[in-house]
């Protein structure tokens, strides 16, 4: 399976060039569920893909599904509410841990102590990440036992329709938008399996969703700096990778101390910054060609991503 990760497409689209560069010809399946109610406003995206496209309408399908299966809708709301509470508890704990790390970094201690203290702080963050992922997995497993998606007629109907829609498609394009909504719909309809070996082009939240770990980040929100936090697992089509789209609006690449901590915290995953007009390819085993993608090193520096010469 080949995946192409791209920078944001809204203001400076490069998708058409990426498709041509990969030599992909034929029908595309589009996934714009992250746009939510604007899911069908896809004319511009369809044009970049050559016009021969089918929108899988995952968001609209979920709305229809909940209307026709009230029990599923109720259980889904319960699960999402519990996951939101878990996310908030995790966020609060992360913010306290990060504040302690910042305070310790400014403390005047003997230099020989500093590396050990830094490593301990990072291990605290990693432990919180592991706790959060384990709790999320437990909640999903608990509700899977109640949902029994594989036995619900409406779910099966939509999956059969999606399977037929994908039969004539050579590739899949996954747009951005609301990442939590997007990954939820992708998992609801088992797109990780339905995509199969088709070429995937993904950007912004779409690129985040096809990795194995979705990290929320914003270094300068109105309410003040927040800890980088894991939302949940992704589809895992591109493993051992954390992507950071639209860095110009959300990521302070000059904050090397903060970025160093983040890079070390998410090891052995490679932290990739997807700038505008950037792209890189994943062939199922390793990254290959690319342009303008940055990698965050364990020193916090942002360097050109050169996977063919080694990623770390």
Residue-wise pLDDT for 26-76, tens only, equals 999 999 999 999 999 999 999 989 899 999 999 999 999 999 999 999 999
Architecture category of domain 3-67+149-309 in CATH: 3-Layer(aba) Sandwich (3.40)
Q: Are residues 211 and 238 in contact, defined by beta-carbon separation less than 8 angstroms? A: yes
Q: Are residues 190 and 214 in contact, defined by beta-carbon separation less than 8 angstroms? A: no
Question: What per-residue confidence (pLDDT) applies to 310?
Answer: 42
Question: What per-residue confidence (pLDDT) applies to 152?
Answer: 93
Q: Can you say how many angstroms the Cα of residue 218 is from the centroid of all Cα atoms in its chain? A: 14
Cis omega (within 30 of 0) for bond into 181: no
Q: Are residues 226 and 220 in contact, defined by beta-carbon separation less than 8 angstroms? A: no
How far apart are alpha carbons 279 and 289 in whole angstroms?
Answer: 8
Task: Report how far apart, in Å, the C-alpha atoms of 100 and of each of 93, 120, 121, 132, 188 are.
Answer: 11, 11, 8, 19, 38
Which tokens in the block code for residue 163? 């399977």
Bigger pLDDT: 310 vs 110: 110
Calculate mean pLDDT across residues 91-104. Answer: 88
Only one residue has tokens 């995790």, namely 90
Which tokens in the block code for residue 90? 């995790």
Of 155-169, 177-191, 213-227, which gets the smallest average pLDDT?
213-227
pTM of the shown model: 0.93
Q: What is the DSSP string of the chain?
A: --EEEE---SSS--HHHHHHHHT--SEEEEE-GGGGGGTT--HHHHHHTTS-EEE--HHHHHHHHHHH-HHHHHHHHHHHHHHHHHHHHHHHHHHHHHHHHHHHHHS---HHHHHHHHHHHHHHHHHHHHHHHHHHHHHHHHHHHHH-GGG-HHHHHHHHHHHHHHHTEEEEEE--S-HHHHHHHHHHTTHHHHTTT-EEEEETHHHHHTBS-EEE--SS-TT-----EEEE----SB-SEEEEE-HHHH--TT-HHHHHHHHHHTTTSEEEEEEEEEEEEE-SSSEEEEEEEEEE-TTS-EEE--GGG---
How far apart are alpha carbons 156 and 150 in whole angstroms?
Answer: 7
Look at residues 41, 29, 48 and name the one whose alpha carbon lies nearest to residue 194.
29
The domain segmentation of the chain, as residue ranges, is 3-67+149-309, 81-147
Residue-wise pLDDT for 231-284, tens only, equals 999 999 999 999 999 998 889 999 998 899 999 999 999 999 999 999 999 999
Which tokens in the block code for residue 175? 């747009």
Question: What per-residue confidence (pLDDT) applies to 249?
Answer: 85
């Amino acid at each position: 399976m080949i995946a192409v990760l791209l920078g944001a497409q809204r203001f400076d689209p490069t998708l058409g060039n990426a498709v041509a560069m990969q030599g992909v010809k034929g029908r595309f399946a589009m996934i714009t569920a992250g746009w939510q109610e604007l899911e069908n406003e896809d004319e511009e995206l369809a044009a970049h893909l050559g016009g021969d496209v089918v929108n899988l309408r995952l968001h609209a399908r979920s709305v229809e599904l909940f209307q026709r299966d009230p029990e599923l809708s109720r259980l889904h709301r319960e699960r999402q509410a519990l996951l939101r509470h878990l996310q908030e508890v995790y966020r609060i704990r992360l913010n306290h841990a990060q504040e302690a790390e910042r305070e310790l970094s400014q403390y005047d201690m003997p230099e020989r102590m500093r590396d050990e203290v830094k490593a301990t702080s990072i291990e605290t963050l990693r432990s919180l990440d592991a706790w959060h992922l384990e709790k999320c997995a437990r909640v999903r497993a608990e509700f899977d036992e109640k949902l029994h998606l594989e036995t619900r007629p409406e779910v099966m109907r939509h999956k059969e329709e999606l399977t037929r829609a994908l039969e004539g498609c050579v590739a899949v394009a996954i747009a951005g938008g609301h990442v939590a909504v997007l990954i939820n719909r992708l998992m609801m309809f088992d797109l990780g399996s339905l995509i199969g070996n088709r070429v995937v082009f993904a950007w912004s939240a779409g690129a985040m969703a096809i990795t194995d770990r979705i990290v929320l980040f914003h270094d300068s929100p109105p309410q003040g700096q927040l800890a980088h936090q894991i939302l949940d697992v992704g589809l895992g089509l591109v493993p051992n990778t954390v992507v950071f789209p639209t860095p110009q609006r959300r990521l302070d690449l000059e904050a090397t101390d903060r970025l160093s901590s983040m890079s070390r915290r998410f090891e052995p995953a490679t932290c990739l910054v997807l700038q505008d007009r950037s792209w890189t390819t994943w062939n199922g085993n390793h990254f290959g060609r690319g342009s303008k993608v940055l990698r965050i090193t364990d020193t916090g520096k942002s360097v050109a991503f050169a996977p063919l010469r080694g990623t770390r």
